[in-house]
Amino acid sequence: MNNTNQIPAPAVLRAQDARASPRTYSTKFPLAENPMSEGGAWINGATTGLDWGDVFTTVGQTHPHPGPKRYADATALLIGTWATDQMAEATVYINKSYNYPEVELRLRSSLSPHVCNGYEIAFALPPKAYLLIVRWNGPLGDYTVLKEPKGAQYQVKAGDVVKATIVGNIITAYKNGVKLAEATDNTYATGTPGMGFNEQINGDYGYTSFAAAELP
Spatial contact of 187 and 171, defined as CB atoms under 8 Å apart:
no
Domain encompassing residue 137 = 9-14+23-214
pLDDT at 45 over 70: yes
Tell me the C-alpha distance between 109 and 98, whole Å: 26
Chain center to CA of 23? 17
> How many domains, in total, are found in the chain?
1
Residue 79 in any domain: the answer is yes
In a domain, 3, yes or no: no
Give the pLDDT confidence score for residue 99 in this predicted structure: 67
- Residue 210 lies inside a defined structural domain of this protein: yes
Selected residue with higher pLDDT from 98 and 190? 190
Give domain status of residue 2, yes or no: no
- Structural domain includes residue 197: yes
- Judge contact between 54 and 161, C-beta under 8 A: no
Rounded CA-CA distance 69/51 in Å is: 8
Do the beta carbons of residue 91 and residue 159 sit within 8 Å? yes
Question: What CATH number is attached to the domain comprising 165?
Answer: 2.60.120.560
Tell me the pLDDT tens digit for each residue of 116-147: 999 999 999 998 999 999 999 999 999 999 99
